[in-house]
Structure 1
Amino acid sequence: MHKEKSPQRSRLVAAGLCSLDIVFGLEDPAPKFYAGGTCGNVVAGLAFLGWDAIPIARLAHDVAGEFVRGDLERWGVNTSLLGLDPTGATPIILEKIQTSKNGIPKHRFLWNCPDCGSYFPPFKPVLRTQVEDLKKKLGRPEIFYADRVSRSAVELARHFRHEGSLIYFEPSAGGDPKLFREMLQLCDVLKYSAQRARSFSELLRDHKAYLEIETLGEDGLRFRTRRAFTSWQTVAAYEVSIKDTAGSGDWTSIGLMSEMLGEGRKALEKCSKQRILSCLEHAQAIAALNCQFEGPRGGMYQLSRSRFMQSLTALKAKKPGDSKQRKISLIQQLSTAAVCPSCGPTDNRRPRLDGEKRRSAIRTASEK
Structure 2
Amino acid sequence: MNKMNEKFGLTCLGAGTFPLDNLQEKNGKDVNVIYQHVGGTAGNVMTILAWYGWHTLPAARLDDSEVGFQLKADMEAYGCDTRLVSNAPDGGTTILDIIHKTGRDGKPKTAYMAHSPRGGRFVNHRFWTLKQAQELFDSLKEMPDVFFFDRCAPGNILLAQLFHERGVLVYYEPNEPVDRNFLRAVAASDIVKFSNERHPDVSFSDAYDDKLFIQTLNQEGLRYRLRDAEWKKLDPVWNPDAIDGEGAGDWTSSTFIHALGQKGLPHVSDLCVSVLEDCLMYAQRVASESVSYIGAKGLIHH
Question: Which interval holds the TM-score relative to the shorter structure?
Answer: 0.7 to 0.9
Taking the aligned partners of 2:275 and 2:214, their CA distance within structure 1 comes to 15
After superposition, residues 126-137 of structure 1 pair within 5 angstroms as: 126-137=128-139
Larger deviation, residues 118-127 vs 157-166: 118-127
Taking the aligned partners of 1:117 and 1:85, their CA distance within structure 2 comes to 17
Corresponding residue of 2:232 = 232
Corresponding residue of 2:146 = 143
Structure 2, unpaired ranges of 5+: 1-5
When the two structures are superposed, what TM-score results if normalisation uses the length of structure 2?
A: 0.87
Aligned residues: 293
Taking the aligned partners of 1:194 and 1:48, their CA distance within structure 2 comes to 28
Taking the aligned partners of 1:7 and 1:245, their CA distance within structure 2 comes to 28
Taking the aligned partners of 2:95 and 2:122, their CA distance within structure 1 comes to 6
Asked if 2 retains the 8 angstrom alpha-carbon contact of 1:48 and 1:76, the reply is: yes
Asked if 2 retains the 8 angstrom alpha-carbon contact of 1:104 and 1:242, the reply is: no
Greater relative CO (CA pairs within 8 A, separation 6+): 1
Corresponding residue of 1:184 = 186
The list of structure 1 runs, each at least 4 consecutive aligned residues, that deviate by more than 6 angstroms after superposition, is none
State the one-letter code of the partner of 2:246: A
Residues 231 and 32 of structure 1: CA distance in aligned 2, closer, same or farther (over 3 Å): closer
Matched, 1:216 2:217: yes
Asked if 1 retains the 8 angstrom alpha-carbon contact of 2:37 and 2:74, the reply is: yes
Secondary structure, aligned partner of 1:83: strand
Taking the aligned partners of 1:72 and 1:166, their CA distance within structure 2 comes to 23
Residues 172 and 207 of structure 1: CA distance in aligned 2, closer, same or farther (over 3 Å): farther
Identity of aligned pairs, percent?
27
Q: Decide which structure has greater strand share.
A: 2
Structure 1, unpaired ranges of 5+: 1-5, 303-368
Corresponding residue of 2:35 = 32
Larger deviation, residues 97-106 vs 117-126: 97-106
Superposed displacement of residue 235, structure 1 = 3.0
Q: Decide which structure has greater helix share.
A: 1
Superposed displacement of residue 267, structure 1 = 4.7
Taking the aligned partners of 1:221 and 1:246, their CA distance within structure 2 comes to 17
After superposition, residues 105-116 of structure 1 pair within 5 angstroms as: 105-112=108-115
Correspondent of 2:48 among 30, 45, 48? 45
Asked if 2 retains the 8 angstrom alpha-carbon contact of 1:106 and 1:244, the reply is: no
State the one-letter code of the partner of 1:75: Y
Of the two, which has the highest radius of gyration?
1
Correspondent of 2:78 among 51, 69, 75? 75
Corresponding residue of 2:3 = none
Correspondent of 2:175 among 172, 193, 202? 172
State the one-letter code of the partner of 2:180: K
Larger deviation, residues 37-46 vs 268-277: 268-277
State the one-letter code of the partner of 2:46: V
Superposed displacement of residue 73, structure 1 = 0.8
- Give deviations 1:221-249, integer Å, cap 9, x for gaps: 1112114x423232313323122101110
When the two structures are superposed, what TM-score results if normalisation uses the length of structure 1?
A: 0.72
Taking the aligned partners of 1:102 and 1:260, their CA distance within structure 2 comes to 43
Corresponding residue of 1:257 = 257
State the one-letter code of the partner of 1:239: N
Taking the aligned partners of 1:71 and 1:166, their CA distance within structure 2 comes to 26
Taking the aligned partners of 2:264 and 2:211, their CA distance within structure 1 comes to 13
Taking the aligned partners of 2:211 and 2:64, their CA distance within structure 1 comes to 39
Asked if 2 retains the 8 angstrom alpha-carbon contact of 1:84 and 1:126, the reply is: no
Corresponding residue of 2:91 = 88
Secondary structure, aligned partner of 1:64: helix
Secondary structure, aligned partner of 1:187: coil
